[in-house]
Every structure is written in C-alpha cells, then in structure tokens.
Amino acid sequence: MRFAAEVRRLHRRYRVGILRYLGDTPPLHIATAPLIYAMFVPLALLDIALITYPTASWLVEYLLWCRVRQPGWREFRSPGQAASVSTTMID
C-alpha cells in the first residue's frame, strides 16, 4: 500500500515512541495490564477443556452404543441402573 507524501509526513509528525506512550499512560492502566493479560492462559485452558470434554464423552458414548449393537456383545449397563436389567447376549 502506498501512501501519498502528505500522509507519510503527517504519520511521521504524529508518531509517538514507546517511552512517551507509556509515560502518558495513567499508572492505573499500566498496573492492571499484567492482570488482564495473565487471564489469557487460564481462559485458553478453559476453552480447550470445554471443547475437549464433550467431544470425548460423545465419542465414548458412540463407541459403546456401536459395541452394544454388534451381535455377541453384552448389553451396556451403567452403574446407576438396577440389577434387574438384562445382561444377556444380543442376537
């Protein structure tokens, strides 16, 4: 992208260095910036967990469902179900 000479001159005129920028920043902003940026890692881990857990649990449920539907496998019984549930072989 090419800028006109006048635009480039204005950019150079209003350019602010990092030390001047930090010097003009209120101290409260500088004090709270590390706290804000420190939340990126925990939020990223939470995001990964919220994506991974349902995906893994649905995959396990699907694999168990497929196993139960195959002839020769016993029916799946979760620990909370009553003992009267049939555990015979599926034909």
Residue spans per domain, the chain: 5-61
User: How does pLDDT run across 11-48, given as a tens digit for each residue?
Assistant: 889 999 999 988 999 999 999 999 999 999 999 999 99
Structure tokens at 17: 């260095």
For residue 91, pLDDT beyond 50: no
- pLDDT tens per residue across span 42-80: 999 999 999 999 888 888 888 777 766 666 555 555 555
DSSP for the chain reads ----HHHHHHHHHH---HHHHHHHS-HHHHHHHHHHHHTHHHHHHHHHHHHHHHHHHHHHHHHHHHHHHSTTSBPP--TTS-TTS--PBP-
pTM for the model stands at 0.42
